[in-house]
């Protein structure tokens, strides 16, 4: 089947992102963008400078008026100073009306990214907090929202102090691991915000997960679906969960339904297996074909919630084990693929991480025009609009969750795992993902690397059977970064069996925890996985 023209594909991106962002398209959910007419101010030192700003009658007329995405650090890391990134505190306020929806409706705020610590109030009432700016979070504001015609006052404080030691994404200049621009982190509401209105029985954020098991082939695909459903009512509910798969022409090709009892205030995961799909239309780089999964929750014949999830059927294979000695090729649907990829830091001069959709589309078009067919996040979770591009345009994707600096304390470990769960759930439905990048260049302890890898496998059954979980050095290099100059350290290990994509470190994957072989920085990367001469990362799979 011929590939879709780029302009036609880009028209699909709003639908793809909508599904990824857990915003329904059926009319059962209402999604209201909260992007314009924010008022904001910042202070580099004093967290208490604007105490009381969350109160509805607070006077913010002297503050700047901006649109989000917005970032107070206008990528000052480009100055290449010893510590060139901005730190401090940012305050945001916005007023907006809310029209009363159906009886018992639930109201939520969906934030795609606030750096680094977010504290949120609505109409003077605290409604939630979040630590870590690179993943999304959703807050239930039902008890605080005004539905009587009065304006709602949303207040957000974004804290980005120097010396953070309990989050994986911190400024590289705050420690001896000088990262310059590489360590830059956003300060503010640097990704979009939405108000979402749903029924009290709803599918939870990123709660639909579809995957093909290891039997997938050109002849048949066995698809599994997990649906995470929550009952916000104060009494039990009995619902029917229906998952329907549609092809690109809108024809229903598979369906499964089951009943589920929901206790009051509880969340359940409904696991279903679709009927075997024969002769599936496979997703590939030349033909990035996407099916459409429609998930419905209903009760007493009435649909309560509905979400759409784009999904591509494919299988991949990395060279591991004894057979890899002769066949060091990456296979997509059984065919070798030459991987010609690029890594990108999510920075833009003058805006840093505060990208608009058009800017992301432009960057994607530049990469495709240059001939790249694969992309690596460097080195933290990127804007979800990238994800929609890779899936619909047919590029391979290596998302990454890395701590530029490792702080071995309980709060750091817990926050790392919490953010890792968000990171995987937001991205695991994407057919473009072929690797999970756990760390880049840091002292990730071996025990913690195993713990995190087990968590990734729990969230994504295709890891590590297909998608490999990669690390840089398996904590064998005692200081945060691999050496980049001089002769590479000697590693008394067998010949590497699973070289992957080039980067900065090559690690033998004959056994978990094998010592690393460090190589000079290589960017962009290009490999066919036939040669171990390019740098690659160790596999904990």
Written in H, E and C, the secondary structure of 114-176 is EECEEEEEECCEEEEEEECCCCCEEEECCCCCCCCCCCEEEEEEEEECCCCCCCCCCCHHHCC
State the number of CA atoms in the 13 A half-sphere of 404 facing the CB. Answer: 25
Do residues 507 and 540 touch, judged by C-beta distance below 8 A?
A: no
List CB contacts of 405: < 8 A, sequence separation 6 or more. 170, 172, 174, 175, 177, 179, 183, 442, 480
Per-residue pLDDT of the chain (541 residues; tens, 9 = 90+): 334 444 334 334 443 343 333 333 445 899 999 999 999 999 999 999 999 999 999 999 999 999 999 999 877 666 666 677 889 999 999 999 998 878 899 999 999 999 999 999 999 999 999 999 999 999 999 999 999 989 999 999 999 999 899 998 888 778 766 554 455 788 999 999 999 999 999 999 999 999 999 999 999 999 999 999 999 999 999 999 999 999 999 999 999 999 999 999 999 999 999 999 999 999 999 999 999 999 999 999 999 999 999 999 999 998 777 767 777 889 999 999 999 999 988 887 777 789 888 999 999 999 999 999 999 998 889 999 999 999 999 999 999 998 877 888 999 999 999 999 999 999 999 999 999 999 887 667 888 988 999 999 999 999 988 999 987 654 443 322 233 323 333 323 232 333 333 333 322 222 333 322 222 233 333 333 222 223 333 222 3
Instruction: Report the candidate in 300, 297, 281, 278 with the shortest Cα–Cα distance to residue 289.
Output: 281
Beta-carbon count within 10 A of 436 CB: 29
Per-residue buried b or exposed e for 163-202, using 16+ beta carbons within 10 Å of the residue's own CB: ebebbbbbbbbbbebebbbbbbbbbbbbbbbbbbbbbbbb
pLDDT of residue 533: 28
> Helix, strand, or coil here: 19?
helix
List CB contacts of 522: < 8 A, sequence separation 6 or more. 502, 503, 504, 534, 535
pLDDT of residue 442: 64
Supply angle C-alpha 146, 151, 153, rounded to 5.
85
pLDDT of residue 86: 86
Instruction: Report the candidate in 394, 374, 432 with the shortest Cα–Cα distance to residue 287.
Output: 394
pLDDT of residue 378: 86
Instruction: Report the candidate in 313, 319, 245 with the shortest Cα–Cα distance to residue 281.
Output: 313
List CB contacts of 454: < 8 A, sequence separation 6 or more. none
DSSP state, residue 322:
G
**How many Å apart are CA 419 and CA 137, to the nearest integer?**
10
Do residues 221 and 208 touch, judged by C-beta distance below 8 A?
A: no
Instruction: Report the candidate in 239, 274, 212, 208 with the shortest Cα–Cα distance to residue 24.
Output: 208
Q: What is the pTM of this model?
A: 0.85
pLDDT of residue 78: 63
List CB contacts of 515: < 8 A, sequence separation 6 or more. 474, 476, 489, 491, 492, 493, 507, 508
List CB contacts of 27: < 8 A, sequence separation 6 or more. none
Q: What six digits make up the tokens of 397?
A: 């994707």
Phi, psi values for residue 411, rounded to 5°:
-65, -40
Q: What six digits make up the tokens of 378?
A: 């460097």
State the number of CA atoms in the 13 A half-sphere of 37 facing the CB. Answer: 7
**How many Å apart are CA 66 and CA 83, to the nearest integer?**
27
Do residues 41 and 324 touch, judged by C-beta distance below 8 A?
A: no
What does each C-alpha distance from 124 to 27, 68, 146, 376 come to in angstroms? Answer: 30, 21, 12, 41
pLDDT of residue 233: 94
Instruction: Report the candidate in 76, 72, 91, 82 with the shortest Cα–Cα distance to residue 186.
Output: 72
Instruction: Report the candidate in 263, 529, 500 with the shortest Cα–Cα distance to residue 398.
Output: 500
Phi, psi values for residue 159, rounded to 5°:
-95, 130
Partners of 110 in the β-ladder: 138, 194
Do residues 349 and 75 touch, judged by C-beta distance below 8 A?
A: yes
> Helix, strand, or coil here: 11?
helix
**How many Å apart are CA 494 and CA 299, to the nearest integer?**
59
**How many Å apart are CA 192 and CA 352, to the nearest integer?**
15
**How many Å apart are CA 387 and CA 398, to the nearest integer?**
11
Stated as kind and residue range, the H or E segment containing 335 is strand 335-336
Phi-psi region of 301 (alpha: psi -120 to 50; beta: other; left: phi over 0): left
State the number of CA atoms in the 13 A half-sphere of 477 facing the CB. Answer: 24
**How many Å apart are CA 168 and CA 422, to the nearest integer?**
14
Q: What six digits make up the tokens of 464?
A: 């590590």
Do residues 507 and 440 touch, judged by C-beta distance below 8 A?
A: no
Query: Cα dihedral angle (74, 78, 83, 87), rounded to 10 degrees?
Result: 10
List CB contacts of 485: < 8 A, sequence separation 6 or more. 520
Phi-psi region of 333 (alpha: psi -120 to 50; beta: other; left: phi over 0): left
Burial class (CB within 10 angstroms; exposed 0-12, middle 13-18, buried 19+) of 516: buried
pLDDT of residue 325: 72
pLDDT of residue 529: 29
């Amino acid at each position: 089947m011929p590939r879709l023209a780029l302009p036609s594909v880009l028209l699909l991106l709003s639908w793809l992102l909508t599904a990824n962002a857990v915003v329904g398209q059926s009319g059962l959910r209402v999604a209201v963008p909260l992007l314009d007419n924010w008022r904001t101010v910042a202070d580099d030192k004093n967290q208490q400078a604007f105490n009381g700003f969350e109160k509805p009658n607070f006077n913010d007329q002297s503050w700047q008026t901006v649109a989000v995405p917005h970032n107070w650090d206008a990528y000052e890391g480009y100055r290449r100073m010893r510590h060139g990134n901005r730190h401090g505190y940012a305050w945001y306020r916005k007023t907006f009306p809310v029209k009363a929806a159906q009886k018992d409706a639930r109201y939520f705020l969906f934030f795609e990214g606030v750096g680094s610590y977010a504290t949120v109030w609505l109409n003077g009432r605290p409604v939630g907090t979040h630590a870590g700016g690179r993943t999304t979070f959703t807050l239930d504001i039902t008890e605080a929202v005004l539905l009587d015609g009065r304006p709602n006052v949303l207040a957000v404080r974004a804290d980005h102090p120097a010396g953070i030691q309990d989050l994986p994404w911190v400024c590289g200049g705050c420690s001896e691991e000088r990262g310059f621009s590489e360590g830059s982190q956003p300060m503010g509401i640097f990704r979009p915000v939405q108000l979402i209105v749903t029924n009290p029985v709803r599918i939870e954020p990123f709660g639909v997960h579809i995957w093909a098991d290891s039997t997938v082939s050109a002849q048949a695909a066995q698809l599994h679906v997990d649906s995470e459903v929550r009952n916000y009512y104060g009494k039990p509910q009995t619902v029917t969960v229906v998952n329907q798969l549609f092809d690109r022409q809108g024809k229903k090709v598979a369906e499964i339904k089951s009943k589920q009892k929901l206790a009051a205030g509880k969340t359940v995961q409904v696991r279903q297996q679709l009927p075997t799909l024969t002769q599936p239309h496979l997703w590939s780089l030349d033909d990035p074909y996407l099916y459409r999964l429609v998930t419905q929750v209903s009760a007493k014949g009435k649909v309560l919630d509905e979400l759409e999830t784009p999904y591509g059927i494919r299988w991949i294979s990395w060279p591991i084990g004894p057979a890899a000695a002769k066949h060091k090729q990456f296979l997509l649907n059984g065919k070798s693929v030459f991987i010609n990829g690029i890594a990108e830091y999510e920075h833009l001069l003058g805006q840093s991480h505060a990208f608009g959709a058009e800017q992301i589309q432009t960057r994607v078009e530049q990469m495709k025009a240059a001939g790249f067919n694969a992309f690596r996040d460097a080195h933290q979770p990127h804007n979800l609009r990238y994800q929609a591009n890779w899936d619909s345009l047919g590029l391979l994707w290596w998302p990454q969750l890395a701590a530029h600096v490792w702080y071995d304390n309980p709060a750091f470990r817990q926050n790392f795992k919490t953010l890792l769960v968000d990171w995987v759930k937001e991205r695991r439905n994407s057919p473009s993902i072929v690797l999970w990048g756990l760390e880049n260049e840091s002292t990730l302890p071996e025990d913690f690397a195993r713990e995190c890898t087990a968590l990734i496998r729990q969230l994504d059954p295709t890891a590590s059977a297909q998608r490999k979980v990669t690390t840089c050095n398996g904590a064998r290099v005692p200081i945060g970064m691999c050496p980049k100059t001089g002769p590479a350290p000697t590693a008394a290990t067998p010949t590497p069996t699973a070289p992957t994509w080039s980067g900065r470190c090559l690690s033998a994957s004959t056994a978990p925890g094998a010592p690393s072989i460090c190589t000079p920085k290589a960017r962009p990367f290009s490999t066919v996985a036939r040669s171990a001469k390019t740098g690659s990362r160790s596999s904990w799979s």
